Amino acid sequence: ERKTNLSAVVAAQSNWEKVVPENLGLQEGTHELCYNTACALIGQGQLNQAMKILQKAEDLCRRSLSEDTDGTEEDPQAELAIIHGQMAYILQLQGRTEEALQLYNQIIKLKPTDVGLLAVIANNIITINKAEQCRKISASLQSQSPEHLLPVLIQAAQLCREKQHTKAIELLQEFSDQHPENAAEIKLTMAQLKISQGNISKACLILRSIEELKHKPGMVSALVTMYSHEEDIDSAIEVFTQAIQWYQNHQPKSPAHLSLIREAANFKLKYGRKKEAISDLQQLWKQNPKDIHTLAQLISAYSLVDPEKAKALSKHLPSSDSMSLKVDVEALENSAGATYIRKKGGKVTGDSQPKE
């Protein structure tokens, strides 16, 4: 079993890292070891040799299963289906697509219980771009696991490949309605499809309908970015407001809560919404009265709407004496920084003109 696991690691290294692994001297004495060796060879591009090893694996598997008398071995067809799936993949890589599809279909007809195997086959068939076979695979998957996300995502992917994005979104919406426990994952996919169509506003509406995610900082950031791109500043501020309210109700004064208030205030100031930023800045300053930067922002915002309030707040600023900086002039003059900067576009006159 250890040798089998080790050979699986070697196979994964060949396929994922595209490197030739060290020869560990593992003997191909079982169909599992042969299978893993073949996978490693596929990763190295040695397809013909890999096919020979898979044929050996098939033979060893049949013999092993025929000798199994205690009834502990899995269904022979289930074991062989995995090997045949890899054989079909080699045929696909070699451009022998019809032979590959024929072998894929043989595996499907056996109705294997391995959902992962069926998913891989479906993905490979999508690559070949055989829509009908893909639909059969996804239908088979869905009949086995009606509540599972994978079948509907495969169907949606195929519809998108056929440029039927509207149908794909309708399919996803229907599944979301029937299985609300998976709604978040489905809606994220729907939003991605809307973005790919250039419909940013609709994507934002879909994302905002995901109750368990819409207050998360990552989701808020994504929504604000998209609304800003659409120049819909009001909607962006509304996203901030709703998220801040959620944290106010569930996690008041938490780091995430205060961070969102800070980002909301900065966003409003950036787009000239100083009056709207006042409440956020006040809340932040109350949390940390020593935060001079926030106080300065608050005074600046009030200066436009309530000068008297701005004047009163300015009394909380530290005196100029307490803010004085101790500067080592000699050290500054001897530093490696620039000592002379010529004004850009300035005209050279008088004695400053270069002499020939």
The answer to the question of residue 270 being in a domain is: no
For residue 283, tell me if it sits in a domain: no
**How confident is the model over 268-292, as a mean pLDDT?**
89
Predicted confidence at residue 356, as pLDDT, reads: 41
Domain total in the chain: 1
Q: Is 101 inside a domain boundary?
A: no
| pLDDT at position 250 | 94
Between these two residues, 229 and 327, which has the higher pLDDT value?
Answer: 229
> What is the structure's pLDDT at 334?
62
Statement: residue 162 has pLDDT above 80: no
Tens of pLDDT, residues 201-252: 999 999 999 999 999 999 999 999 999 999 999 999 999 999 999 999 999 9
Encoded amino acid at 162, one letter: E
Query: Which pLDDT score, from 0 to 100, does residue 197 have?
Result: 87
Output the pTM of the full model. Answer: 0.56
Is pLDDT above 80 for 58?
yes
37 within some domain:
yes
Structure tokens at 352: 């400053």
Please determine, for residue 148, whether its predicted confidence score (pLDDT) is greater than 50.
yes
Residue 22 lies in a domain: yes
Average pLDDT, the chain: 80
Residue 126 lies in a domain: no
3 located within any domain:
yes
Secondary structure of the chain as H, E, C letters: CHHHHHHHHHHHHHHHCCCCCCCCCCCCCCHHHHHHHHHHHHHCCCHHHHHHHHHHHHHHHHHHHHCCCCCCCCCHHHHHHHHHHHHHHHHHHCCCHHHHHHHHHHHHHCCCCCHHHHHHHHHHHHHHCCHHHHHHHHHHHHHHCCCCHHHHHHHHHHHHHCCCHHHHHHHHHHHHHHCHHHHHHHHHHHHHHHHHCCCHHHHHHHHHCCCCCCCCHHHHHHHHHHHHHCCCHHHHHHHHHHHHHHHHHHCCCCHHHHHHHHHHHHHHHHCCCHHHHHHHHHHHHHHCCCCHHHHHHHHHHHHHHCHHHHHHHHCCCCCCCCCCCCCCHHHHHCCCCCCCCCCCCCCCCHHHCCCC
In a domain, 30, yes or no: yes
Question: Is pLDDT larger for residue 143 or for residue 296?
Answer: 296
Which residue range(s) make up the domain with 1? Answer: 1-59+82-90
